[in-house]
Amino acid sequence: MMQSGTTLCDIRIGASLDALVKTFSAPDYRGAEVEIWVFDGPERRAKARECLEGNGVHAKIRSAYKPLVHTVIEETDFDGAEEIIIRYPVVDGVSKGRFLLECYPVVDLVGDRSILFEPDAASDGTSLPFYRMVLRGPGRAERVIDIAAPNAFHDNHTGHRTFTSTGWVRVRVPLKPELDRDEAFRTDQEEAFAAVMGVLETRDWPGTEAHFDRLNVSIEAPFYDTPLTTEGEWLSTGEAMHEDLYFSALELLKTRRGHEKSDRVFAPGQIVPEIVPKDGPLRVRLTTSADPWLETDKAAPIDIPTDLEAADHWLEPGTIKAHLDALGGQDFEARSRRGRPVWGTHVEGPGPNVLITAGQHANESSGPVGALRAAHRLKQDGKVGFAIAPLKNPDGYALFRELAARHPRHMNHAARYTAGGCDLEYTERGFENEILHMGKEKTGAKLHLNLHGYPSHEWTRPFTGYVPRDFDQWTLPKGFFLILRCHAGWEAKGDAILQAIIDALASYRPIVELNRKQLERSRLYLPEQVFEVRRDIPVLIEQNSEGIFPVTIITEAPDETIYGEEFIVAHTAQMMAVLAAANACAALL
């Protein structure tokens, strides 16, 4: 394992927009028409445009990230438009829905006007792709607006060809046509991303699988966060960089060790993107360190009283432990990779036992609250026995708390997996996952209720093809979601328990309203759905004879980044799902 305190790189990259403004402010470009696409935010782009205009250059500076949405917000006058048609580009070798997805959430940005999406004729991707937006007014009068969507083919870090967002420059100089340009260029943020991948690619990593304890990937850049009118939606280049850095780094290290890029057992160590919004030159630093919060977290947890029903954000570990202790069950404990306790308790009851777990993916924060609320209700009712492990991944949860303190509205997927960088769902024995086997041994449970969450707003990876690889169905929220996995021969009982949960959730108006709204919105941009919908609840059913429980039900609340009343609704639904499943289990098992 690489020693903590090692600096792998410390690189400075000039700001693209500043360099372009300097170039086009030269006398040769006076009177030129310049169009630039970069990843800078609205304020920096406006300031750069004013500077160029002051030097006699007719300039338009647009966003290379989600260009249609930015253009709709920043430039488009919809007065008189009653109907909108958006023809989105289709590129050979690229998912047909790629640019349709990038339109999200434009329908919410144009008022009550009707909007229709149509695919354009396919192209080979060698020229600049563009959207064509047709605005129709009274008497079918039309205005047509073409919106460039700069993308180019690249061979990515795993050797696969991807069509990715990029910078673009288009210049027309009437008096000096030899200076004309119309071409892609790699922006500063693309350079920063490539620099990280380059270090990971060329580094001579230790022969053992654990390459480092913690790899800090710090990027200082002019990132920006812009809230949208759609609930919970943001335009965030910082969050997008975090997501692409984290998953791309994992993929690259996997392929170097001969693993498939979708492998979730590989454990190189914890990768921590540190996103620092800052003007001026970009800085890229890669360093190794130990977990800075380990000793504090391993100390005896503090009892922090919290009214679980009113909890409006994620819980501190001490609060989780205090509510677990209040159940008065028989405690059991595993240890995380870094030695943090993984708590569990068994509460005996007259009926069949169930196992309740949460916090496997530590940035999915409503599950621990819902699990604890349900456990207190189950003990009070006394109809079934149960075991509960409300925080399966305490190492990831420590990182989640750290990241959420910096960027509370980001998804922070670097905290999703364990300190080893692997997914508990796919590891069999050892460390955190022992809590699952302990729970089964203590209870003999046939039903495992596994509480999860997923992004509550759009999830993108702009530097590697936009759509999150292997997670394409989770890129947009679609309400409180259920997954049933069962062994052969258990389908009927599993479905009956699933239906009991659906019936309970269908009686909870806030979830019904949320699901209807998010399902309707997601269908516009992801028309090919792989799940069914029962009583407004999306459901996915899988036969899985490899699981250690005959029936596993996974809840998926759109809870990443939510707070306040939205968070309360999410953990209330988590609780209701557990209670409905446990009551059905008492009758069926």
- DSSP letters for 480-509: SEEEEEE-TT-HHHHHHHHHHHHHHHTT-H
Q: Which of 268, 290, 312 is the last residue of a domain?
A: 290
Which tokens sit at 488? 């052969």
**Number of residues that make up the chain:** 589
Report if residue 133 sits inside a domain: no
The residue among 371, 395, 409 whose CA lies nearest residue 559 is: 409
Report if residue 127 sits inside a domain: no
Asked whether residue 30 falls in the same domain as residue 175, the answer is: yes
Chain-centroid distance of CA 540 in Å reads 20
Side-chain-facing half-sphere of 448: CA atoms under 13 Å: 27
The residue among 386, 400, 417, 408 whose CA lies nearest residue 270 is: 417
Side-chain-facing half-sphere of 493: CA atoms under 13 Å: 18
Asked whether residue 352 falls in the same domain as residue 250, the answer is: no
pLDDT of residue 486: 94
Residue that has been written with the tokens 């508990």 in this structure: 424
The residue among 575, 573, 585 whose CA lies nearest residue 505 is: 573
What is the residue range of 326's domain?
Answer: 294-588
Residue 532 makes CB contacts below 8 A (sequence gap 6+) with: 538, 539, 540, 541
Report if residue 121 sits inside a domain: no
The residue among 557, 556, 580, 553 whose CA lies nearest residue 567 is: 557
Residue that has been written with the tokens 């009653």 in this structure: 82
Asked whether residue 12 falls in the same domain as residue 50, the answer is: yes
- Using CA atoms in the order 65, 162, 278, 236, what is the torsion angle rounded to 10 degrees? 40
Q: How far is it, in rounded angstroms, from Cα 404 to Cα 412?
A: 7
Q: How far is it, in rounded angstroms, from Cα 304 to Cα 290?
A: 27
Q: Which of 275, 290, 305 is the last residue of a domain?
A: 290
Spatial strand order of the sheet with 167-172 comes to 58-63, 33-38, 167-172, 181-185
460 neighbors 469 (Cβ within 8 angstroms): no
Report if residue 122 sits inside a domain: no
Report if residue 214 sits inside a domain: yes
Asked whether residue 189 falls in the same domain as residue 299, the answer is: no
The residue among 132, 271, 139 whose CA lies nearest residue 210 is: 271
Which tokens sit at 168? 């673009």
Asked whether residue 196 falls in the same domain as residue 270, the answer is: yes
Q: How many helices (H) and strands (E) does the chain have?
A: 14, 25
pLDDT of residue 261: 66
Residue that has been written with the tokens 């062994």 in this structure: 487
The residue among 247, 242, 241, 268 whose CA lies nearest residue 256 is: 268
Report if residue 523 sits inside a domain: yes
Asked whether residue 340 falls in the same domain as residue 363, the answer is: yes
pLDDT of residue 94: 93
The residue among 514, 483, 485, 513 whose CA lies nearest residue 577 is: 483
Asked whether residue 349 falls in the same domain as residue 264, the answer is: no
Q: Is the dihedral of CA 412, 417, 422, 425 positive or negative?
A: negative
Residues 9-22: b if buried by 16+ CB within 10 A, e if exposed: eebebebbbbebbe
* CA 103 vs CA 172, 228, 525: distances in Å: 29, 13, 7
488 neighbors 120 (Cβ within 8 angstroms): no
pLDDT of residue 207: 74
Asked whether residue 472 falls in the same domain as residue 434, the answer is: yes
The residue among 167, 89, 92, 168 whose CA lies nearest residue 130 is: 89
Asked whether residue 396 falls in the same domain as residue 424, the answer is: yes
Question: N- to C-terminal Cα distance for the chain?
Answer: 48
Q: How far is it, in rounded angstroms, from Cα 557 to Cα 576?
A: 12
Asked whether residue 37 falls in the same domain as residue 166, the answer is: yes
Q: How far is it, in rounded angstroms, from Cα 89 to Cα 100?
A: 8
Asked whether residue 238 falls in the same domain as residue 319, the answer is: no
Task: Give me the number of domains the chain comprises.
Answer: 2
In 3-state terms the chain splits into helix, strand, coil percentages (rounded to 5) of: 35, 30, 35
Q: How far is it, in rounded angstroms, from Cα 413 to Cα 411?
A: 6
Q: Which of 264, 290, 316 is the last residue of a domain?
A: 290
Residue that has been written with the tokens 């008492």 in this structure: 586
pLDDT of residue 293: 87
The pLDDT profile of the chain, 589 residues, written as one tens digit per residue, is: 899 999 999 999 999 999 999 999 999 999 999 999 999 999 999 999 999 999 999 999 999 999 999 999 999 999 999 999 999 999 999 998 999 999 999 999 999 999 999 999 999 988 899 999 999 998 878 999 999 999 999 888 878 889 999 999 999 999 999 999 999 999 999 999 999 999 999 998 877 778 999 999 999 999 999 999 888 899 999 999 999 999 999 999 998 888 776 777 889 999 999 999 999 999 999 999 999 989 888 776 777 778 999 999 999 999 999 999 999 999 999 999 999 999 999 999 988 899 999 999 999 999 999 999 999 999 999 999 999 999 999 999 999 999 999 999 999 999 999 999 999 888 778 899 999 999 999 999 999 999 999 999 999 999 999 999 989 889 999 999 999 999 999 999 999 999 999 999 999 999 999 999 999 999 999 988 889 999 999 999 998 878 899 999 999 999 999 999 999 999 999 999 999 999 999 887 6
pLDDT of residue 230: 87
pTM: 0.96
Report if residue 442 sits inside a domain: yes
Q: How far is it, in rounded angstroms, from Cα 264 to Cα 102?
A: 27
Report if residue 37 sits inside a domain: yes
459 neighbors 474 (Cβ within 8 angstroms): yes
Asked whether residue 55 falls in the same domain as residue 166, the answer is: yes
247 neighbors 217 (Cβ within 8 angstroms): no
Say which CATH number the domain at 478 has.
3.40.630.10
